[in-house]
Amino acid sequence: MIDLIINIILLTFLAITAIAIIRTTNLFATIMLFGIFSLLSATLFVVMDALDVAFTEAAVGAGISTILMLTTLALTKNHNEKRSHAHRPWLPLAVVTITGMALVYGTLDIPGFGDPAAPANTHVAQYYINNALPETGVPNIVTAVLASYRGFDTLGEVAVIFTAGVAVLLLLGGKPSSPNSNPRTNKKREEDET
Amino acid sequence: MKRNPILRIVAKFLIPLIILFALYVQFHGDFGPGGGFQAGVIFSAALILYALVFGLEAAEKIIPPHILRLLASAGVVLYASVGVVSLFLGANYLDYSVLGSTQIKGQHLGILLVELGVGMTVTAVMLIIFFAFAGRGRP
Amino acid sequence: MDFIISHYNYWIVIFLMMVGLYTVISRGNLIKKIIGLNIFQVSVFFLYISMGTVKDGAAPIITEGVKLYSNPLPHVLILTAIVVGVATTALGLALVVRIKESYGTIEEDEIHEMDHSL
């Protein structure tokens, strides 16, 4: 019961933080709020028994991604977002409300939170829980499934991370090309002018 | 931040502990929460802290960028080659049971190697990304 | 009342998802858009983890004397998704940095104006 109460309180906090994130115009404050959002989600993952996920979210969401966003902010030197009048809130709000209502209608059939008889918890999950220790000798079922039963899947994920690293290196690895120092753009500009 | 003594001393005290914790998470992931993904991120967080406090050049002296690139690809290759070895030993791709004398031993060895590969790639990629962003701001 | 409590998780998930979507649609700043995408992403993580939670279940690490465990499968999927998510976020931020370098702004409408004037 106490789990459920903590769960509900934290979820409410999360919703409030999300609203604060969209209402803030100062980007530094937004990024800090996003760090808080990640830390709150890590806490919530602990409440929902997902220790490995909480661990990752605390290290990645509150640590690395906040630092990366701050570095981007330092590079773009743009600390306040502009709210121009071209963005009228009514159309996006309508789209979001209608989509949200459709999704809420979809949840009415979902088995309740924590239902042990839900279809998601009865098929392959029971196999993993019963057989992970005898078959692999690893008590942490998450590690056993991650590395052994679904090893091929994880290989794909590692390849995706590697590809993202290569792509960032391609985009940012070289010398920054400022418009005045790059001879090619200068030449092109001179041609344009003549 | 290089001249701030409190930051320097606290960082010097914390960084070895963070690295130790990352290694614990990496190799104890079979028994408690943890594994290659978390360990990689924590390990890179220790080096990012070093770079933030002591400067980017000092951090690049510890791990030069070309070694990072090598490490990132070596992790993926290690992962994939474990699968190839099990193919040669007569099992399916990434079936670790044949790697050891018994099924349990083989699975243990396979999971350890695979997690090591994941840890290497994640550490290296996170650092590559951070160095790429931070290096962009250099005059 | 029971129905509301047992579905509260899913409704907050939908709310967060819609907050993320709204930010992506209505805000012109590219960094803000990426934060919106991240909120959307976290809401999907919550959807998976909520579905895998079992009432009074323990964390899925086998211990003697524990009979009921939470579903480990969503944990595995989301664990990798988080790390992949930060890698792709970094890619998006790298694109933002390059856009800033070539356009001098990261506001969507200013970029549109520049492109039309060409």
**If DSSP states are collapsed to H, E and C, what string results for chain C?**
CHHHHHHHHHHHHHHHHHHHHHHHHHCCEHHHHHHHHHHHHHHHHHHHHHHHCCCCCECCECCCCCCCECCHHHHHHHHHHHHHHHHHHHHHHHHHHHHHHHHCCCEHHHHHHHHHHC
Instruction: Give SS3 for A114.
Output: coil
pLDDT band of B80, cuts 50, 70, 90? very high
* pLDDT (0 to 100) of residue C96: 93
Looking at the fold, whether A70 and A125 belong to one and the same domain comes out as: no
C residues 51-90 closer than 8 Å to B (CB)? 59, 61, 79-80, 82-83, 86-87, 90
Distance between CA atoms of C34 and C43, rounded to whole angstroms? Answer: 14
Is residue B32 within 8 Å of residue A140, measured between CB atoms? yes
- Residue ranges in chain A whose pLDDT is less than 70: 84-87, 176-194
pLDDT digits (tens, 9 = 90+) for B112-122: 999 999 999 99
Task: Identify the residue whose tokens are 């995408």.
Answer: C37
Residue A181 belongs to some domain of the structure: no
Distance between CA atoms of C12 and A8, rounded to whole angstroms? Answer: 9
Domain that residue A135 falls in:
120-174
* pLDDT (0 to 100) of residue A180: 47
Contact residues, chain B, for C94 at CB < 8 Å: 129, 132-133
Residue A28 belongs to some domain of the structure: yes
Residue A193 belongs to some domain of the structure: no
Instruction: Give SS3 for B113.
Output: helix
**Residue among B45, B48, B128 whose CB faces A165 most closely:** B128
Q: Which of B79, B109, B116, B138 is the best mutation test for A, with the most CBs of A within 10 A?
A: B79
Looking at the fold, whether A5 and A75 belong to one and the same domain comes out as: yes
Contact residues, chain A, for C21 at CB < 8 Å: 95-96, 99
Instruction: Please count the structural domains in chain B.
Output: 1
pLDDT digits (tens, 9 = 90+) for A149-179: 888 999 999 999 999 999 999 999 877 665 5
- CB-based contact A53 C45, cutoff 8 Å: yes
Looking at the fold, whether A126 and A68 belong to one and the same domain comes out as: no
Q: Is the Cβ of A137 closer than 8 Å to some Cβ of chain B?
A: yes
Could you tell me the domains of chain C?
2-117 (1.10.287.3510)
* pLDDT (0 to 100) of residue B33: 85
Q: Is the dihedral of CA B60, A38, C24, A104 positive or negative?
A: positive
* pLDDT (0 to 100) of residue A178: 56
Instruction: Please count the structural domains in chain A.
Output: 2
* pLDDT (0 to 100) of residue A182: 45
Looking at the fold, whether A71 and A135 belong to one and the same domain comes out as: no
Shortest Cα–Cα distance, A128 to chain B (Å): 15
Looking at the fold, whether A124 and A77 belong to one and the same domain comes out as: no
Residue A47 belongs to some domain of the structure: yes
pLDDT digits (tens, 9 = 90+) for B9-23: 999 999 999 999 999
Looking at the fold, whether A18 and A71 belong to one and the same domain comes out as: yes
- This model of the complex carries an ipTM of 0.91
Domain that residue B33 falls in:
5-136
Q: What is the DSSP letter of B96?
A: G
Q: What are phi and psi of A139, to 5 degrees?
A: -70, -30
Contact residues, chain C, for A185 at CB < 8 Å: none
**Residue among C61, C94, C97 whose CB faces B33 most closely:** C61
**Residue among B35, B103, B133 whose CB faces A68 most closely:** B133
Contact residues, chain C, for A171 at CB < 8 Å: 91, 94-95, 97-98
* pLDDT (0 to 100) of residue B90: 86
